[in-house]
Chains A and B, each alone.
Chain A
Amino acid sequence: MTQAQQSAPVIIVGGGLHGSSTALHLARAGVPALVLEKNYIGRHASGVNAGGVRTLTRHLAEVPLSLAAQTIWHQIQDWVDDDCDFHHTGQMRVAENESDVQTLQQRLKTMHEHGYTHEEWVSAQDVRAMIPAITPSIMGGLIARGDGSADPYRTTRAFRMKAQSLGARVMEGIQVQHIAREGKDWKLQTDQGLFSAPVLVNCAGAWADKISAQFGEPVPLKAVGPMMLVTSRMPHFLDLVVLGTSRALSFKQRENGTVLIGGGRPAWTDRDTDQTELDFRLLGEGARVVCDLFPHMKHAIVNRGWAGIEASMPDGIPVIGPSKTMQDLYHAFGFSAHGFQLGPIVGKITADLITTGKTDLPIEPFSIDRFKAPADASTASAYPFPL
């Protein structure tokens, strides 16, 4: 490998959606980054998540980013030459009982207080009209009509391909072993030789804490494996993506008729060996929620289950932004269960930080040094929702 191939203006560790998105936005700005991916693009969280394109009931801090991302999603074909199978069917969180109604109404109030109008209340009657298959005892819902879902692997791949077409480089099957700062450069020792770049981006997902810890910024990242189930094809009965309020559920029917069931219940994972084991008793709990909400689903046939390995932060929001200890190091990780929709914008944020030194989106709540102080109630409070 030549000297030129071993260096790049920016190296991005991690070829998931966030890494690929960062590469795309940098490429659009004329900066040809090199992505180093230890497995293959979209192998982990990015390729196997529920594909929810969601602004609905986001943590308050994420809302402005999510709304900005949504603009990109609605023009995704123009950005990555692929529609990513994005269907903007809307997402709704449903109220099973009076307590859920209160929770959702309170959320709506918070949104309006902050000037956000993308979430709307839907009456019980209207929910039943929009979702005829739902239990008649449903009490209402909160909807974001511009939301929907897309194909996660296809999306991640589209970002990668577009980035490459604009000058980015991607290497797969390459494991970063050690990173050091030497003068103005980052030196990355890998299992395929030495790489260097003046700027480093940490998009290493469930392994990102290993990089941040190396440079004096340890974070309480937890590698988790939210479980997914998919059924065999069923007659069409649902357009919207449905989420639970006090009971965890994410539920959607794809165009091909299969139904995807999530909810974030964790599999056993071992991030060092890329192993996961599904927890069937926990899946059983999710199945009970589905059958309560959609009684006809008790006959649905579960064809497959899986769990990706994702990075979860204790306050439910990711780490985004520059390192607080090192120059020219940027982080974007910790998105478990809510990173897919943000992918298109977080890459832009990181690219803007690198090329201009600033971003016009409010990223202070995502700062990596927030874990040093005791948990701040105001950042933790506004995300009461399960998946």
Chain B
Amino acid sequence: MYKRLPESEQAMTGHAVAVTINGEPVHCRQGDSVAAALLAAGHADCRDTPVKGVARGPFCMMGVCYDCLVTIDGQPNQQGCMIQVRPGMVIERQQGARKVMA
């Protein structure tokens, strides 16, 4: 589990951004990436892979691994580490294993 240093908590005072993660309300810091907010809120994983349906979470935090893909405001395949939280943002775990025609 991740947590915020006091300096990070302090930065949130009065400037917290309210989002939801899988339906639960979460407060995060203005300037946090979605991936950072997810980790700080205790979510190590954010999606299931499309090929084998295994859990994955943020890995590189700099936009090159594409493991932090989440659904944001209904749009899937958004890189959590490259998008900053916005008030009212709806963040959902991405289901990757899709049923396709045999």
Contacts and interface: CB of A to CB of B under 8 A. Distances in A.
Given A233-B96, A299-B75, 9 more contacts: A232-B77, A234-B98, A236-B99, A236-B101, A255-B101, A256-B50, A257-B98, A257-B100, A301-B77
Contact of B98 (A236, A239, A299): A236
Nearest to A256: B100
Interface in A298-328: 299, 301
A34 B98 CA distance: 44
B98 A235 contact: yes
A236 B98 CA distance: 8
Contacts of B101: 236, 239, 255
Contacts of B50: 233, 256-257
A56 B96 CA distance: 35
B90 to A, nearest CB: 16
Which interface residue of A233, A234, A299 has the most chain B CB atoms within 10 A? A233
Nearest to B51: A256
Contacts of A232: 77
A372 to B, nearest CB: 49
8 contacts: A232-B77, A233-B98, A236-B98, A236-B99, A255-B101, A256-B100, A299-B75, A301-B77
A154 B48 CA distance: 28
A301 B66 CA distance: 13
Contacts of A301: 77
Interface in A350-366: none
Interface residues of A, number: 11
* SS of B interface (majority): loop
Interface of A: 232-236, 239, 255-257, 299, 301
Contacts of A239: 101
B77 to A, nearest CB: 5
Nearest to A236: B100
Nearest to B69: A232
A370 B96 CA distance: 53
Interface string B64-102: 000000000001010000000000000000001011111
A221 to B, nearest CB: 39
A257 B100 CA distance: 7
Contacts of A299: 75
**Cβ-closest 3 pairs across A and B:** A236-B100, A233-B50, A257-B98
A255 B98 CA distance: 10
Contacts of B102: 255
Contacts of A235: 98-99
A353 B100 CA distance: 44
Contacts of A236: 98-101
A232 to B, nearest CB: 6
A235 B77 CA distance: 12
Interface in B38-63: 50
A139 to B, nearest CB: 26
Contacts of A257: 50, 98, 100
A284 to B, nearest CB: 21
A252 to B, nearest CB: 12
Contacts of B99: 235-236
A232 B96 CA distance: 11
Contacts of B75: 299
A40 to B, nearest CB: 26
A127 B101 CA distance: 19
A236 B99 CA distance: 7
A301 to B, nearest CB: 5
Nearest to A239: B101
A233 B99 CA distance: 11
A299 B96 CA distance: 16
Nearest to A255: B100
Interface string B21-38: 000000000000000000
Nearest to A87: B101
A255 to B, nearest CB: 6
A371 to B, nearest CB: 44
A234 B98 CA distance: 8
A232 B78 CA distance: 12
